[in-house]
């Protein structure tokens, strides 16, 4: 693994290796990635972020890495510097990995092909959000311990969601049964899973994954009010009560309360929304280790054994 830009690049074995590594980090079994001297990484966020940026920062600090923080507004981007020149600058001055969020689809993948250091996609436009996907997978793994035929229902703004795209790819690799539910105009013909009526699907899923309405990426305003959206496409208390007894609720956040999900459900017993954020730290530590240390030291099993186990998920 040279970069971490798309879930389509990862085999089941590699996903399992990352999950096992994250589990060790959760147990507190780790040491710094910096045995000799300082090691630098750069966080280049060209779009707003709370969870991804801050949990990368916590992950980097726990691993003993030095962070080169970048603020678009006070950078030479304001003088017209291209993202390639900015990223190449960070690699030239010593950053060993670049964590990049950008509003343009595929921009991060393009940079990964051009740069001499590992690139991590922290979300590119409507493209992908692979570290969100990894923490989502980790959340499901912690709950169910398997993926084969796990019923995952993704609900909401499928068309504009990079989280949906990355999870669709990863869950296919892992053999889960994915189905989708959303307004017709937000269906994505490139995501090859069945669209079901929410009231039917909610009773059968193991995981109900709500997606944020990505207003900033919409070309046309929706005609639905928040109240109408919640009633037709959101997770209401009435729908939650019809879920399987052990089914869980997920949402990548930020959450639009009382739009995608009724306020009282955000922190209900089935909700794993804030657990997902906690798991984001361990999974991002795992990705950094994989890229900067090739997953050494924390993993007890070798890759071949991991791969054999992954076939049983």
Binding test (CB under 6 A) with ligand CP, winner from 132, 166, 181, 256 = 132
Q: How far is the CB of 123 from ligand CP (least distance, A)?
A: 6
Q: Toward ligand CP, which CB reaches closer, 49 or 222?
A: 49
Q: Select from 6-14, 50-58, 227-235, 267-275 the region that touches ligand CP (CB under 6 A).
A: 50-58
153 touches 209 (CB < 8 A): yes
Q: How far is the CB of 189 from ligand CP (least distance, A)?
A: 24
Q: Select from 12-20, 49-57, 80-88, 194-202 the region that touches ligand CP (CB under 6 A).
A: 49-57
Q: Toward ligand CP, which CB reaches closer, 170 or 299?
A: 170
Q: How far is the CB of 107 from ligand CP (least distance, A)?
A: 16
Q: How far is the CB of 202 from ligand CP (least distance, A)?
A: 22
Q: Toward ligand CP, which CB reaches closer, 62 or 212?
A: 212
Is 131 a binding residue for ligand CP by CB under 6 A? The answer is: no
Return the residue matching tokens 């921009």: 107
140: number of Cβ within 10 Å: 24
* Angle subtended at Cα 142 by Cα 135 and Cα 242, rounded to the nearest 5 degrees: 95
Q: Toward ligand CP, which CB reaches closer, 55 or 91?
A: 55
Is 49 a binding residue for ligand CP by CB under 6 A? The answer is: yes
Near ligand CP in 209-228, by CB under 6 A: none
Binding mask 109-128 for ligand CP (x = CB under 6 A): --------------x-----
Q: How far is the CB of 284 from ligand CP (least distance, A)?
A: 11
Near ligand CP in 228-267, by CB under 6 A: 252-254
Q: How far is the CB of 134 from ligand CP (least distance, A)?
A: 12
DSSP the chain: ---B--GGG--HHHHHHHHHHHHHHHTT----S-SSS--EEEEEESS--SHHHHHHHHHHHHTTPEEEE--GGGSGGGGT--HHHHHHHHHHTTEEEEEEEESSTTHHHHHHHH-SS-EEEEEETTS--HHHHHHHHHHHHHHHS--TT-EEEEES--TT-HHHHHHHHHHHHTT-EEEEE--GGG--TTS-S-B--HHHHTTT-SEEEE----GGG-SS--S--HHHHHHHHSB-HHHHTTS-TT-EEE--S---BTTTB-GGGTTSTTB-HHHHHHHHHHHHHHHHHHHHHTTTTT--S-HHHHHHHHTT-
Q: Select from 11-19, 43-51, 112-120, 236-244 the region that touches ligand CP (CB under 6 A).
A: 43-51
Q: How far is the CB of 210 from ligand CP (least distance, A)?
A: 12
Is 52 a binding residue for ligand CP by CB under 6 A? The answer is: yes
Give the interface with ligand CP as residue ranges (CB under 6 A).
Answer: 49-52, 123, 132, 252-254
């Amino acid at each position: 693994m040279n970069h971490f830009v798309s879930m389509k690049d990862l085999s089941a074995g590699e996903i399992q290796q990352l999950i096992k590594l994250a589990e060790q980090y959760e147990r507190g079994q780790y040491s710094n990635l910096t045995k000799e001297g300082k090691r630098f990484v750069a966080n280049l966020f060209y779009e707003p972020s709370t969870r991804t940026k801050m949990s990368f920062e916590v992950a980097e600090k726990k691993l003993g890495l030095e962070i080169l923080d970048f603020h678009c507004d006070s950078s030479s981007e304001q003088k017209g510097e291209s993202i390639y020149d900015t990223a190449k600058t960070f690699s030239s001055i010593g950053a060993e990995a670049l964590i990049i969020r950008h509003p343009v689809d595929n921009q991060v993948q393009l940079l990964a092909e051009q740069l001499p250091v590992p690139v991590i996609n922290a979300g590119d436009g409507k493209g992908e959000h692979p570290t969100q996907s990894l923490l989502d997978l980790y959340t499901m793994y912690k709950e169910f311990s398997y993926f084969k035929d796990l019923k995952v229902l993704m609900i909401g703004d499928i068309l504009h969601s990079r989280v949906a795209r990355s999870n669709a790819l990863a869950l296919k690799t892992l053999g889960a049964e994915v189905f989708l539910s959303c307004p017709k105009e937000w269906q994505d013909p490139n995501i090859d899973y069945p669209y079901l009526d929410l009231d039917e699907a909610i009773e059968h899923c193991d995981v109900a994954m709500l997606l944020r309405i990505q207003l900033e990426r919409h070309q046309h305003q929706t005609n639905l009010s928040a109240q109408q959206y919640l009633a037709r496409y959101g997770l209401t208390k009435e729908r939650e009560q019809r879920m399987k007894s052990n089914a869980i609720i997920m949402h990548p956040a930020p959450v639009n309360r009382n739009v995608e999900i009724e306020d009282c459900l955000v922190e209900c017993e089935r909700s794993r929304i804030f657990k997902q954020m906690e798991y984001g730290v361990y999974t991002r530590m795992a990705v950094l280790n994989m890229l900067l240390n090739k997953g050494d030291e924390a993993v007890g099993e070798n890759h071949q054994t991991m791969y054999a186990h992954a076939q049983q998920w």
